[in-house]
Chains A and B, each alone.
Chain A
Amino acid sequence: MPDDSTQRIRIFSVETRFQKLARRGGGVPRNAAIENAQSKIEEAKPGFEGWLTQEVQLLADLINSVKEGHAPPGWIDVASDQSAQLRDIGTTMHCELVTFIASSLCDVLDAIAAGSPCNMDSIVCHVDALLVARQKPYRDMKPEQVPKLTSGLRKVVDHVSVSPS
């Protein structure tokens, strides 16, 4: 005899309005759509350079204030959010090195938030790397083009992640 919970399960078909509209003819074919979207990204690039400079500077200022003993409350969360933004946007704007460094910094901050000791040097070296990566010609480089930097940051993350809490 089936139990009550299985009797209450209902499986049904749905065609959402999004599906109905999206299946109609006259849309932009995939390749053209992607090309158009890339053009939109290129159009946004001049503004991105200013945004990147400003966001990295905000992060650097925050970390400097923490180093000087003026840590604002919840600074780890603020630094995490700023790093996550840089990570999430970098590659979309063809700045893979920025995403790599910011992602590595997110790992460090996550480890600290999870109980690893707060080693400021591990954060500062990432911020310094971001200050370099926001400038030309580094901004357009890929992580594999700067192997010493990437392997150094990986070692820092490994060290922070395995440190006892």
Chain B
Amino acid sequence: MKKFAVTYKPFGETALLIEWPSKIDEEILFDILSFQKEIESTLFEKIDETFNTYNSLAVFFNPEIISYEKLLESVKQLRKGEQIADPHSGNVWEIPVCYDPFFGIDLEAISKTKKIPIDELTELHLGNTYTVYFTGFLPGFLYLGGLSEKLFIPRKETLRSKILKGAVAIGGYQTGIYPQESPGGWNIIGNCPIPLFDASKNPPTRIHAGDKVKFVSISKEEYDLLKEKINSGDFVLNALSI
């Protein structure tokens, strides 16, 4: 596994920010996740939590327990050593998406701009396996990498004030699912009936950074049936393992 050069800086009074080269790259993600595992397993008694994005990892600490300088020294020391933690969870989640025009309200406009038939657009979206880089923006909002270049679409110039819960969308080079109703500027191509965030459960989400996501197309009828099953508590999302 590739090990990148990193830089360290304080972030507020209670976090150490570790930064990788500024690009979206799976090799960078897995280096971050491996280092995160090493830090969590070695320093768990001294730190509060860790959190990663595309190219950074923040280590949150309580200055009454460990100083920034001491934490920095320990983390640097760890980085020097052999990094053995396996960052690959092996989880692949099959997420059902209904691309019916009832939900995919921007499909027609995208099809016109890109001069690609709607069927082909959804095939492209279904064809790839996506990597979960991190969760951010909203509780349970997954930042997914791996979108086909043919589907890169700029964000809409004006924000929609209301995007449905479960909306599957494309914004720039990213695709994602709105876990709750929210304003947003991404292009809506479908809807996922499965709740991706449930505050009454702990942990509230089961999909984590490093997992893989595959979309599976369902019809409007299947969507409604699945929704019923979910509402009656009769549905459990399971990960396939690779």
A binds B: no
Q: What is B's interface to A at a CB cutoff of 8 Å? A: none
